[in-house]
Structure 1
Amino acid sequence: MATTPTTDESTNRTTNERPPEVLTQQWVRDRTRAVITDALRANGETLVEAPPAAGKTTGLFAAVEDTGEPITYLTQREDLYDQAGKLARDHGLKPKVLPSPHRTCPTFEGDHGDEWRNRVTTVYGPNVGGAAIHKVMDLPCSDEGTCPYQLAWDFEPANYDVLVGHYVHANVPSAVENRTIVIDEFAEEAAVTTFHDPEPVVSAFVSRRRGLPFDDWTDFVEHRHERRPEAVRWFVRNYRDKNPDSWDVIDDDGDVHGLAGELVLGLLFAEDLGNGFRTTEKTIPKPTPDGWQRMALRDTSVRRRMSPKVAWNTEKNAVHLLSVPNFDDANGVAALDGTPTKRMWDTAFGVSFDHERVVPPSRMNDYLTDALDIKVHQYGAHDPDKAGTRPYSSGNHLYAETDEKLLHGIGMHFDADPDVITTRAAIREYDEDDRVLHHADEYRNFASVKSSNAFRESTVGAVLGSPHPGDETFKRWGAFMGSAIEGSGKGVDRSYRAVGDEIYHHYVHNQVLQSILRFGRDGQEAHVLVTSMCTPSWVEPEPLKMMTFSGSSSRAVVDCLRDSDGMSQSEIVDETGLSQQAASKALNGLDENGFVAVEDKPGPYSSQYVWN
């Protein structure tokens, strides 16, 4: 493990180089390359925090060229595979995309019919690898020889500088050995397997294993503590065969799962946290002379051979299994993330990462405003009465009137309809009446914009509300960490205590920040309106004095008059579809506040309203 120089927050930890007084994007990109280069040379576990638009992917392949260190680049997004291959070749490196049955197997792709495709994809889900499926099942793609997927694995990894694949390839020994593993962005769905109904999976496993002292799920739940010593001895003797083999899963009716052994072992040691969750990670007293009844999984010899982390939601009887990959044979691990939460990375990979920041926290607002030229305007930042977290994930508590008013106002101020990022639920609700998103140019949800360049040319943006996955998610990750997470308070005052707040900020504040940084990435000044208070503490929002109009009728009249040289009330009614009464009320209000002038003109409509 590399040692790291000790410096204050304003200094880059890796090189002791202080950032310049005025941060530039080029300096940040150069620093990103340097920090990643040091991470590859360290042969340890390094978490590189490179903010969005810092060029971390480009910097990575330049660093591989600089160091000559072979890497395996793992990402969740398959659309980045081609980009990674091109960048590798641009730097004189030889890349290889690791095979996936979904891309290279005709059966998985549906060439032999939907029935075959559904069958293999169903088996693939319970953690049976593509190689095992091809070995055990008589697949049509192998009728005339070897399947292209199998042929694609016939290569020597040492002949390639860069292997490119999905997170699941972290479990393939040949893709890990003697290389530095580079993980691009944190992805919970790749690390966590959820059993919404663990009963049939556990019953199928314990009933088919001679020597395990349980008959079924009920017997297991009732007697797992007093029979724990005997069960642990079974796992110690049989850990290599702890999980069902591929044939068991393929030949079963759906109750056998490839991770059943890890699930049972984790549940065997799950202790109550007191918040509706049980976990393998709770610190409990040392074992008594009567054996393992009061021993934590981390204290057993079996933990060195397999290390499942379990978060058991006893209220819903759902179990979340965190499977930590084994990187013992890798040269090192470099994790790249724009907005990382170190505690979550440590938990997911079972190590303590060295956290290296490209830009120190004290200079992040400078990076936002100087290097990226993004101005954040936060609704409620300068008026506590308007401040709120606005969790929009459920779609049940939307501020439609406020959102419409603000989108209309910022569009008027900058003479351009804003591009909008919000939750799927908000888009669904706002799509139904079209009042709010009528004022947007384009709109996307939070999940779809991370690592996306869709709005890179957008100079006016709005982030409506905030994502909130629910307290169950925070409790789940707290359980993986051995912490009982509980929330208290409301709105901006709600807290989950120290560990819980880190998890909350990961899912909420960091996602809002990621959305802010989607705009204006082509060098132009961008203005982003944020309607929640869910931003990192270092963000310094700038005031924005823009006109806003209450009431959809007033906004419709304003839009009508701003695009004309003057109109009568009857013409406004025809143009907007408002009633005469609604149009008259809106015009009177605008007239009283000085936004319109009334002019007398000859013709059938003597009174003309003109935007003032």
Structure 2
Amino acid sequence: MGENEPIEVEVNEVYESGITGAELHRNAERYFGEQLPCQRDGRCSYMEKRDFVPENYDVLIGHYLQAHNDDYLEDRYVAFDEFPGDAYFFEPRHNEATRAITNYLEAEQDLPFDTWKRLYYHRGDSEYEDEVEAWKSDLGFYSHKDTRYILQRKPGFHANAPLLTHAALEFDLLDNDWEYATLGSGRRAVRSSEDEWTILNPPPIHRAKSVVALDGTPTVTKWRLILGGDWINHEEVLDTPEEKRHYLEEILGLTIIQTTADSKPYHSGDYVNVDSDGALLESIHEKEGTRSAVITSKAAEELYSASGVDNHIGISEHYNNLIGSNQFKGVQLGSVIGSPHPPEDEAVQRWAALDGESVERQEYEDGTTKRGTYLDFGPFGNALFQDVVHNEILQAVMRFGRTPGKDEPGATVYVHTFWLPDWVIPEKQLQVKTWSDGMNEVVTALQESEKWPSGEWTNKEIAESISIGVRQVSKLMQELDEEGYVAHRRGGRGNAYHWSNIRLDDFSEFGKVEDVSELSRT
């Protein structure tokens, strides 16, 4: 660190290396050569808040990560409210894992390797077997306290380096080129072919008297992985599709309206259809008289802001920020737009790899990959995909209207993706149609015409001022007529159409929405 850099920069760097906040405060002089600013005039408020005796409290409420503290679990009844997601994952940034391993090996004398590559390519050599096994037997529990202080003073140190090194020694190759390792005490590690690492480090829930995990749409395989054991007993409260539908419609009072038959994978932002989403939200705004709250991907939120779609949105949140959130509990009008399906099947393949299984997209007989609504990962992979996509979308839907008002029966939620669980039957099926470039060109020409707003236009006059021909103009004007935006009369040479404005001031910016419920039932 340079002399002029604030200590906050150093603190952040050491914290990101895996040293806990409490450890930084307790041993600040060892890490930074001085006390932290927050400790110079007395005890840090952060440390003061940590300084309590758990036994003095009957009930503790905390974050998922606090389950790693033995004192908070010891001899207690523990409840997990909702699936913790990736709370117990350590995911090194690109090259961070291999760099940490190399830095560790340069100072670790008990392993016969000095770089990540030498370890990886020679880990199975018989000449090193005894030394490797001796090192593994003396590991401890991989906390920073188990890592020698000499290593902590070394640039590039990472507190998880011993754990990463152990994973590198244990990796087995799966059929889809992911690597998998079990590391004891429920811990697991996986590595993709793109060198993306995930370390799963479950909390020590064996310290608790009993554990209850609450989840409206559980995938038991993932719960068993995240809590580090096969001891979970799964008890369904609602056993049948009919009971589940009754709960959604009668108990929660939800009205679900599905608005597309497309999968709409929105995680990366590459497939976000701003015009279609804008048309839906604009239509909801006009019909309901208020702006819809929205749950979508973070990438979609950013595109909505750039395109003006957010003018039709009340509040919004992205999928990755929903765990534990109650911000929509009093919201009676919501939209869930796009699916949270990650790119390159990352989430499905990662969770499968953590369970030691290889999954890949299935193919048709001609060798082409199944996509969209025909996406198929095989039986095990499909169960995980349902959790990653179907169940997460339903969980998003159920966040609306949890605490309805006195006269409010429950929320109305528009779902703009195909991926709902099969047992959910929407109240309505809508279809969103976006305007073509030609339509937008026609309407702009009319609104900028000298005759606007009370004159009349023929198809020929309109075509002369834009880039499309008379025949296409005629079709587009008839569509506007059917939508009630314009009216027509026939007369003059050739009994031509003469168009007049009715409500083009209200022309929707992005498109229109049609009710296709009856069509979907036939």
Fold shared per TM-score above 0.5 = yes
- For the 8 Å contact 2:60–2:72, the answer to whether it is kept is yes
Correspondence 1:427 to 2:328: no
Q: Which of 373, 385, 390 is 1:509 aligned to?
A: 390
Correspondence 1:464 to 2:337: yes
Give the deviation of 1:501 after TM superposition: 1.7
- For the 8 Å contact 2:265–2:342, the answer to whether it is kept is no
- Code of the aligned partner of 1:423: S
Residue 186 (structure 1) aligns with: 83
Instruction: Show CA shifts across 1:350-370 (max 9, x none).
Output: 123222334334211111111
Q: What is the correspondence of 1:187-266 to structure 2 with a 5 Å cutoff?
A: 187-195=84-92, 196-197=94-95, 198-226=97-125, 227-239=128-140, 245=147, 247-248=149-150, 250-254=152-156, 256-266=157-167
- For the 8 Å contact 1:410–1:546, the answer to whether it is kept is no
Give the deviation of 1:431 after TM superposition: 2.7
Identity over aligned pairs, percent: 28
- For the 8 Å contact 1:310–1:319, the answer to whether it is kept is yes
Correspondence 1:590 to 2:480: yes
Q: Which of 352, 355, 358 is 2:234 aligned to?
A: 355
The CA distance in 2 between the partners of 1:427 and 1:572, in whole Å, is: 39
- Code of the aligned partner of 1:426: A
Residue 118 (structure 1) aligns with: 9
- For the 8 Å contact 1:421–1:444, the answer to whether it is kept is yes
- For the 8 Å contact 1:191–1:348, the answer to whether it is kept is yes
Give the deviation of 1:311 after TM superposition: 0.1
Q: Which of 360, 372, 375 is 1:491 aligned to?
A: 372
The CA distance in 2 between the partners of 1:526 and 1:155, in whole Å, is: 42
Give the deviation of 1:412 after TM superposition: 4.3
Instruction: Show CA shifts across 1:454-486 (max 9, x none).
Output: 344444332222112221222221111000121
Give the deviation of 1:114 after TM superposition: 8.1
Q: Which of 373, 385, 401 is 1:520 aligned to?
A: 401
- For the 8 Å contact 2:186–2:225, the answer to whether it is kept is no
The CA distance in 1 between the partners of 2:139 and 2:331, in whole Å, is: 58
Q: Which of 174, 179, 201 is 2:71 aligned to?
A: 174
Q: Which of 258, 273, 283 is 1:378 aligned to?
A: 258
The CA distance in 2 between the partners of 1:529 and 1:509, in whole Å, is: 15
Unaligned runs of 5+ in 1: 1-112, 282-296, 298-302, 381-386, 559-567, 600-605
Give the deviation of 1:347 after TM superposition: 0.6
- For the 8 Å contact 1:422–1:464, the answer to whether it is kept is yes
Unaligned runs of 5+ in 2: 30-34, 363-369, 444-449, 456-461, 467-472, 490-497, 505-522
Give the deviation of 1:408 after TM superposition: 3.8
Instruction: Show CA shifts across 1:114-162 (max 9, x none).
Output: 8223322322223222332222222233334543444444432211112
The CA distance in 2 between the partners of 1:569 and 1:445, in whole Å, is: 45
The CA distance in 1 between the partners of 2:337 and 2:129, in whole Å, is: 50
Correspondence 1:160 to 2:51: no
Give me the TM-score of the superposition, normalised by structure 2.
0.76
Q: What is the correspondence of 1:245-394 to structure 2 with a 5 Å cutoff?
A: 245=147, 247-248=149-150, 250-254=152-156, 256-281=157-182, 303=184, 306-313=185-192, 315-352=193-230, 353-362=232-241, 363-380=243-260, 387-394=261-268
Residue 26 (structure 2) aligns with: 135
Instruction: Show CA shifts across 1:168-213 (max 9, x none).
Output: 3222222221112322333343211123322221122233233222
Structure 2 CA distance for partners of 1:524 and 1:569, relative to 1, 3 Å: farther
- Code of the aligned partner of 2:214: L
Structure 2 CA distance for partners of 1:544 and 1:329, relative to 1, 3 Å: closer
Give the deviation of 1:497 after TM superposition: 1.6
- For the 8 Å contact 1:569–1:608, the answer to whether it is kept is no
Residue 40 (structure 1) aligns with: none
- Code of the aligned partner of 1:157: P
Q: Which of 417, 425, 448 is 1:540 aligned to?
A: 425
Give me the TM-score of the superposition, normalised by structure 1.
0.65
Structure 2 CA distance for partners of 1:368 and 1:572, relative to 1, 3 Å: farther
The CA distance in 2 between the partners of 1:456 and 1:526, in whole Å, is: 9
Give the deviation of 1:309 after TM superposition: 0.8
The CA distance in 2 between the partners of 1:589 and 1:433, in whole Å, is: 25
Structure 2 CA distance for partners of 1:252 and 1:445, relative to 1, 3 Å: same
The CA distance in 2 between the partners of 1:533 and 1:427, in whole Å, is: 20
- Code of the aligned partner of 1:265: H
Structure 2 CA distance for partners of 1:542 and 1:130, relative to 1, 3 Å: same
- For the 8 Å contact 1:570–1:580, the answer to whether it is kept is no
The CA distance in 1 between the partners of 2:330 and 2:25, in whole Å, is: 46
Residue 446 (structure 1) aligns with: 319
The CA distance in 1 between the partners of 2:148 and 2:265, in whole Å, is: 43
Q: Which of 548, 559, 570 is 2:452 aligned to?
A: 570
- Code of the aligned partner of 1:190: A
Give the deviation of 1:312 after TM superposition: 1.5
- Code of the aligned partner of 2:60: L
- For the 8 Å contact 2:104–2:151, the answer to whether it is kept is no
- Code of the aligned partner of 1:231: V
Instruction: Show CA shifts across 1:48-101 (max 9, x none).
Output: xxxxxxxxxxxxxxxxxxxxxxxxxxxxxxxxxxxxxxxxxxxxxxxxxxxxxx
CA RMSD of aligned residues (A): 3.7
The CA distance in 2 between the partners of 1:449 and 1:608, in whole Å, is: 49
Give the deviation of 1:579 after TM superposition: 11
Bigger Cα displacement from structure 2, 544-553 vs 585-594 = 544-553
The CA distance in 1 between the partners of 2:322 and 2:352, in whole Å, is: 26
3-state secondary structure, aligned to 1:354: coil
The CA distance in 2 between the partners of 1:350 and 1:546, in whole Å, is: 44
- Code of the aligned partner of 2:176: N
Structure 2 CA distance for partners of 1:309 and 1:368, relative to 1, 3 Å: same
Bigger Cα displacement from structure 2, 541-550 vs 514-523 = 541-550
The CA distance in 2 between the partners of 1:223 and 1:247, in whole Å, is: 28
Count of residues paired in the alignment? 454
Give the deviation of 1:505 after TM superposition: 2.0
Q: What is the correspondence of 1:406-425 to structure 2 with a 5 Å cutoff?
A: 406-425=280-299
Bigger Cα displacement from structure 2, 445-454 vs 224-233 = 445-454
Structure 2 CA distance for partners of 1:249 and 1:213, relative to 1, 3 Å: closer
- For the 8 Å contact 2:330–2:400, the answer to whether it is kept is yes
The CA distance in 2 between the partners of 1:241 and 1:398, in whole Å, is: 42
- Code of the aligned partner of 1:354: N
Structure 2 CA distance for partners of 1:525 and 1:374, relative to 1, 3 Å: same
Residue 12 (structure 1) aligns with: none
3-state secondary structure, aligned to 2:211: strand
- Code of the aligned partner of 2:62: G
The CA distance in 1 between the partners of 2:252 and 2:279, in whole Å, is: 27
Give the deviation of 1:273 after TM superposition: 0.1
- For the 8 Å contact 1:450–1:514, the answer to whether it is kept is no
The CA distance in 2 between the partners of 1:265 and 1:423, in whole Å, is: 35
3-state secondary structure, aligned to 1:162: coil
Structure 2 CA distance for partners of 1:556 and 1:367, relative to 1, 3 Å: farther
